[in-house]
Amino acid sequence: MVEHSESAALAFRDVVKSFYVKDTFIPILKGVTAAVAPGDIVALIGPSGSGKSTLLSLCNLLITADAGKVFVDGINVLDWNITELRRKVGLVFQTPTIFPGTVRTNIELARVLQGDTFNQPERYLQNVGLSADLLDHEASELSGGQKQRVALARVLATEPKVLLLDEVTSALDPSAARDVEEWILHIHEKNKTTMLWVTHNLEQALRVSHWVWLMIGGQLIEVTETRQFFTSPQTELGRLFLQGELNGQRI
């Protein structure tokens, strides 16, 4: 039986995840419950090692939860056809994933691997601010910012409803980072794509998101509207985090 939940684009219910390291299960996510409404951008912030990337990886089944449930479009991820799920939920990493070959090959790849024929790759390039003239360039020869935009265009080519962004600007120089950020916001404006965006850059979180989820030690400590979080966080840990007192600390 297919399991449905509420109408959120993405929802986590009591999600628990451990990793088995050196004969021991290390708890990483300790009961995460939260939901992203369609079209919202959530900034997922928190100290290094708190479990942010692990939470993203559950959404398109790179890993599975030990307990609890993850829902995409109201349907348990375990009930999705995995190809459909990965088409619907795009994931972009910190370091752009670029394959050997041209920009065209790189953009077409996700769709081709999913068994589709594919036209108009230039449309997706233009959506990230790159000229169609680049289609026949070797992708490996592009700048860091251009590579990240090509990686983004490849994910956009599957027409995802949800974008998972894992520190997508942190490996770029400030100007390229700002460009990529602006193109992501442009995509949001155009497609109303729901986004769960991991960032260590608090100014970026303030600029881009509607909601902040603060994760500390595998728990969501705050789920707060962005402006409210940055003016008056709801918890003492939120306040300490904003003051920079928890950075680099594993709690």
Q: Residue numbers of the site for ligand ATP (CB under 6 A)?
A: 19, 21, 28, 46, 48-54
Q: How far is the CB of 241 from ligand ATP (least distance, A)?
A: 13
Q: How far is the CB of 30 from ligand ATP (least distance, A)?
A: 11
Q: How far is the CB of 143 from ligand ATP (least distance, A)?
A: 24
Q: How far is the CB of 65 from ligand ATP (least distance, A)?
A: 13
Query: Whose Cβ is closer to ligand ATP: residue 49's or residue 129's?
Result: 49
Q: How far apart are CA 91 and CA 76, in angstroms?
A: 18
Query: Whose Cβ is closer to ligand ATP: residue 191's or residue 219's?
Result: 219
Query: Whose Cβ is closer to ligand ATP: residue 26's or residue 112's?
Result: 26
Q: How far apart are CA 184 and CA 208, in angstroms?
A: 9
CB 60 within 8 A of CB 86: yes
DSSP E strand stretches across the chain? 10-21, 24-36, 41-45, 67-72, 75-76, 89-92, 162-166, 194-198, 211-216, 219-225
Q: How far apart are CA 179 and CA 1, in angstroms?
A: 44
Query: Whose Cβ is closer to ligand ATP: residue 1's or residue 21's?
Result: 21
Which whole-number Å values give the CA distances from 90 to 6, 56, 157, 213, 248, in the listed order?
A: 21, 10, 10, 20, 28
Query: Whose Cβ is closer to ligand ATP: residue 200's or residue 207's?
Result: 200
CB 242 within 8 A of CB 230: yes
The residues, ordered by sequence, that sit 6+ positions from 119 with a Cβ below 8 Å of its Cβ are none
Which tokens belong to 54?
A: 């692990």
Q: Supply the angle between the helices 174-191 and 144-156 in degrees, to the nearest 10.
A: 20
Q: How far is the CB of 158 from ligand ATP (least distance, A)?
A: 24
Query: Whose Cβ is closer to ligand ATP: residue 108's or residue 167's?
Result: 167
Q: How far is the CB of 129 from ligand ATP (least distance, A)?
A: 27
Q: How far is the CB of 54 from ligand ATP (least distance, A)?
A: 3
Query: Whose Cβ is closer to ligand ATP: residue 48's or residue 120's?
Result: 48
